[in-house]
Amino acid sequence: MSSTTAPSSIGTGQTARFDPSIAHLTHVPRRHYGRWIASALILAAFALVVKAFAEGQIDWPVVGQFFTAQSIISGLGNTIIMTICAMALGITLGVLFAIMVMSPNPVLKGIAVFYIWFFRGTPLLLQLLLWFNLALVFPRIGIPGLFEARMVDVMTPFVATLLGLGINQGAYTAEVVRSGILSVDAGQTEAAKAIGMTRLTTLRRIVLPQAMRVIIPPVGNEVISMVKLTSIASVIGFAEVLRNAQTVYYANARVIELLIVSAGWYLIIVTILSIGQHFLERYFARGSGRRSRPAAPSVVES
Amino acid sequence: MMPIVVATDVRKTFGSVQALNGVSIEIPAGQVLCIVGPSGSGKSTLLRCINQLERIDSGAIWVDGELVGYRRVGNKLYELTDSEIARQRLTNGMVFQRFNLFQHMTALENIIEGPVTVQKRRRNEVIDEAMVLLERVGLSAKRDAYPSELSGGQQQRVAIARALAMKPKLMLFDEPTSALDPELVGEVLAVMKDLARSGMTMIVVTHELGFAREVANEVVFMDRGAIVERGSPQEVLVHPQQQRTRDFIAAVLA
Ligand SMILES: Nc1ncnc2c1ncn2[C@@H]1O[C@H](COP(=O)(O)OP(=O)(O)O)[C@@H](O)[C@H]1O
Ligand SMILES: [Mg+2]
């Protein structure tokens, strides 16, 4: 309507400040010149790096040729199997020791505290070497009367790597699981008790599923580091992908080409895992209010 | 009539705080007992001791004829195990001030969790019963909603249905409407009145004096861990004998 109805309480002669016609003007977004310049510089640097690699002393057809070589694929299989087994062992131990650390029983608590202290406090490489050389301490292993075996037969590179990586992982995962459990409101536990759940059922049905929201992101990161950590087992002769790549380049001297092959495979696995992590996180976020759900499908009302 | 809860000389301290200072009480089956009193007077602690969320220091509580938390052998009382305590809790349903619905489960899943996981009953049959309960608290349409998608009043009604799904003999309410916006209090009280009419034995800690006057068979006024006054709603809320009770009622109505 008429602009003379502009607020009068401010004082006379100031109606221009509230000029209603401004509502019709076009909005111009802020210009981000800095971003454009930075992007251009980075793209130029990237192009130089790509050019250097393309023209460098790298025999790309050899990379292609070995990418699916039998020994690389079998090493890849071992890397994947070890990641799965070591992570499964690590998560199992992590949950177990997290529960023990929080237990009112001082013996269980003490054992768990010692475990976490020892395995977080020594280098992983040292632990691998310890497991692999356990035969020096215990030449024979077994339960008297039931079975017995020579330690060197039991402690194969696979078993030593599994124990080394899995048990070490458990010590870290225990702390992650513990903080996840602590993140769940105490009222949830009380409500679970009030409907007659025991301590363990409460943990399994109510607390752990909600703790998952906090646990999954760091454990996802740990799975991804585990994929790459398996490569240190090459020092005790476990035939994972990097070890097999090395075996090949000792023979044909194509060092960089085979390292690129391994790097490519690690990147592929990690990419797939990251996608999987995204979906897992979405699943465990259910009910947390951060996910917008479609309206519930209409239910037959009585 | 056999009392469903008997407490004698119950004492409980937290560090240096005397939360319960020799409380004795009896509740006949089918009655509604309202507990009123100032904040910190031990009302929640009494409910939590009855449901064994706290362990009492001395005295004794019986629920439905069973000594709570201990087994008597000769002249000694032996503490029960975790699973025996869990079984004893099945007699009681409990409703909390802050609802405490399981956040990762829908309304329906919250209600069937106890019957299916604890009582090991058949899922289909339990779902049918749960739908009847949801209908009763007026939330059939919300069966698939997560707690974060419900208002406080709706969450508390689901929490009541969850407790009822276990078919308890006794319902404990700890300030069930104190965390609600004023306009949502009525819908929860309506469900509780309906429950009282159906003959459920209830112990209700509340500041809703109108509800207590209308529904309670007996009202208890607690202060500093002890029962100061008890009697009919008329006696305690309208014609209180003790000065502390009068001060409290004046403060609530102010
Ligand atoms: N877990 C606890 N730890 C320490 N003190 C507590 C605990 N629970 C209750 N108390 C104390 O016990 C007293 C009674 O508390 P409560 O039973 O919650 O009172 P009300 O429910 O009547 O407000 C209060 O002084 C409170 O601070
Ligand atoms: Mg309270």
Per the structure block, which two tokens stand in for A197? 């759940």
Ligand 1 environment, Cβ below 6 A: B 14, 17, 19, 37, 39-45
Does pLDDT of B224 surpass 90?
Answer: yes
Do B96 and A209 lie within an 8 Å CB cutoff? no
Does pLDDT of A189 surpass 90?
Answer: yes
Question: To probe the interface with B, which of A195, A198, A288 has the most B CB atoms within 10 Å?
Answer: A195
Determine which of A131-145, A260-274, B228-242 has the lowest per-residue pLDDT on average. A131-145
**Beta carbons of B61 and B77 less than 8 angstroms apart:** no
The rounded Å distance from CA B180 to ligand 2 centre is 15
Does pLDDT of B179 surpass 80?
Answer: yes
Does pLDDT of B53 surpass 90?
Answer: yes
Predicted pLDDT at A37: 93
Q: Nearest chain A Cα to B164, which residue?
A: A195
Does pLDDT of A295 surpass 50?
Answer: no
Q: Please name every residue paired with B11 in a beta bridge, in sequence order, or none if there are none.
A: B21, B58
**Beta carbons of B95 and B162 less than 8 angstroms apart:** no
Which pLDDT band, with edges at 50, 70 and 90, does A86 fall under? very high
Determine which of A234-243, B86-95, B102-111 has the lowest per-residue pLDDT on average. A234-243
Predicted pLDDT at A299: 40
In angstroms, the Cα distances linking A273 to A221, A229, A242 are 10, 15, 19
Does pLDDT of A6 surpass 60?
Answer: no
The rounded Å distance from CA B46 to ligand 1 centre is 10
Q: Which residues of A touch B106 (CB under 8 A)?
A: 287
Predicted pLDDT at A1: 43
Does residue B26 belong to the interface with chain A, where contact is any CB pair within 8 Å?
A: no
Q: How far apart are CA B157 and CA B143, in angstroms?
A: 12
Predicted pLDDT at A4: 47
Q: Can you count the helices (H) and strands (E) in chain B?
A: 9, 12
Tens digits of residue pLDDT in A49-78: 988 888 888 888 899 999 999 999 999 999
Predicted pLDDT at B254: 79
In angstroms, the Cα distances linking B79 to A166, B17, B83, B84 are 39, 24, 12, 10
Q: How far apart are CA A225 and CA A276, in angstroms?
A: 15
Predicted pLDDT at A298: 40
Predicted pLDDT at A13: 52
Task: Identify the sign of the CA torsion B80, B83, B87, B88.
Answer: positive
CA diameter of chain A: 105
Cβ partners under 8 Å of residue B28, min gap 6: B1, B2, B3, B4, B201
- DSSP line for B137-170: TT-GGGTT--GGGS-HHHHHHHHHHHHHTT--SE
Q: Nearest chain B Cα to A187, which residue?
A: B100
Tens digits of residue pLDDT in B62-105: 999 999 999 999 999 899 999 999 999 999 999 999 999 999 99
Q: Please give the mean pLDDT across all residues of chain A.
A: 87
What residues of chain B, 127 to 186, have a C-beta less than 8 Å from chain A? 131, 135, 140-149, 159, 162-163, 166
**HSE-CB for B156 with a 13 A CA cutoff:** 25
ipTM score for this prediction: 0.94
Tens digits of residue pLDDT in B134-166: 999 999 999 999 999 999 999 999 999 999 999
> Which residue, judged by its Cα, is nearest atom 2 of ligand 1?
B14
Q: How far apart are CA B33 and CA B3, in angstroms?
A: 12
Predicted pLDDT at A88: 96
Name the interface residues of A facing B (CB cutoff 8 Å): 185, 187-188, 190-199, 201, 205-206, 209-210, 284, 286-289, 293, 296-297, 299, 301-302
A280–chain B nearest CA distance, Å: 14
Mean pLDDT of the region A201-225: 93
In angstroms, the Cα distances linking B166 to A206, A254, B188 are 17, 70, 19
Predicted pLDDT at A16: 60
The rounded Å distance from CA B200 to ligand 2 centre is 22
The rounded Å distance from CA B7 to ligand 1 centre is 19
Mean pLDDT of the region B168-175: 97
Predicted pLDDT at A18: 79
Predicted pLDDT at A284: 83
Which pLDDT band, with edges at 50, 70 and 90, does A139 fall under? confident
Residue A296 φ then ψ, to 5°: -55, 140
Residue B76 φ then ψ, to 5°: -120, 150
Torsional class of A63: left (φ above 0), alpha (ψ -120 to 50), beta (otherwise): alpha
Does pLDDT of B111 surpass 90?
Answer: yes
> Which residue, judged by its Cα, is nearest atom 27 of ligand 1?
B40
Between A298 and A243, whose confidence is greater? A243
Q: Nearest chain B Cα to A207, which residue?
A: B102
Which pLDDT band, with edges at 50, 70 and 90, does B120 fall under? very high
Tens digits of residue pLDDT in A12-50: 555 567 788 888 888 888 888 899 999 999 999 999 998
Does pLDDT of B29 surpass 50?
Answer: yes
Please name the amino acid found at residue A127. Answer: Q
Does pLDDT of A302 surpass 60?
Answer: no
Ligand nearest to the CA of B178: 2
Residue from A171, A165, A163, A159 nearest A95 by CA: A171
Each as own residue / partner, the long-range contacts of residues B241-248 (CB below 8 Å, 24 or more positions apart, any chain) are: B245/B221, B248/B36, B248/B37, B248/B38, B248/B221, B248/B223
Do B104 and A196 lie within an 8 Å CB cutoff? no
Between B125 and A144, whose confidence is greater? B125
Cβ partners under 8 Å of residue B224, min gap 6: B18, B21, B41, B42
Predicted pLDDT at A293: 43
Does pLDDT of A300 surpass 60?
Answer: no
A108–chain B nearest CA distance, Å: 17
Per the structure block, which two tokens stand in for A93? 């131990």
Predicted pLDDT at A291: 42
Q: How far apart are CA A276 and CA A272, in angstroms?
A: 6
Q: Which residues of A touch B98 (CB under 8 A)?
A: 187
Determine which of A149-163, B38-52, B153-167, B178-192 has the lowest per-residue pLDDT on average. A149-163
Residue from A76, A57, A78, A55 nearest A66 by CA: A76
Q: How far apart are CA A197 and CA A200, in angstroms?
A: 8
